Amino acid sequence: MDCIRHPPPVDTTLVAVTYAYPWSDLITRYKFGNRPGWAPFFAHLLLGTVAVRPALEALQADDLILPMPLSAERLQSRGFNQAWTLTRALARQAATPARLDAKLLLRVKHTQPQTSLHREARLANVRDAFQVDPLRAHVLAGQRVVLVDDVMTSGASLFTAAEALRAAGAAHITAIALARTSAT
């Protein structure tokens, strides 16, 4: 009922699997075990999910597919951005004409990991964490955007990032996540 009173800043959210065994173990190993080569498998799984392929096929050449960005600190410690690797594999397998861009949406604030926080703390943690590159924000005006992440829990990170995209002029935002877990 709360989503009716306060609709999320995304138009659609599409998710492949529940973040539970065995997916939770596989995604954790992909993300923290330096296994970027697993992205094509996860992209294939996503493309087999209802509505994901049609959402990507509906994109035009001016539309955008963006990964959730990592902070510089997290990127350095992890060695790769799992959302960007997944985004590239997804776009390649879907053969979408949309533009991929890992530098348009920026993570401008390093935050503590969301996993240990409850919903209110998650929202506070990511407040002002995302920004659209101010020199390139004009490319979002009136465009459809697909925002890709690996795991969605409360939606705090995805929704905060989507708010930045919407404020910059994105007309339609579809969030795609590999897995969804129970919000806490």
Average pLDDT for runs of 10 along the chain of length 184: 76 96 96 96 97 96 97 92 98 96 93 66 77 97 97 91 97 97 67
User: Any residues with CB less than 8 A from the CB of 106 and at least 6 apart, and which?
Assistant: 69, 130, 131, 132, 133
165-181: per-residue pLDDT in tens?
999 999 999 999 999 98
In one letter, which amino acid is 143?
Q
Polymer length in residues for the chain: 184
Task: Tell me the whole-structure pTM to 2 decimals.
Answer: 0.92
Domains assigned to the chain: 2-180 (3.40.50)
Greatest alpha-carbon pair distance for the chain in Å reads 43
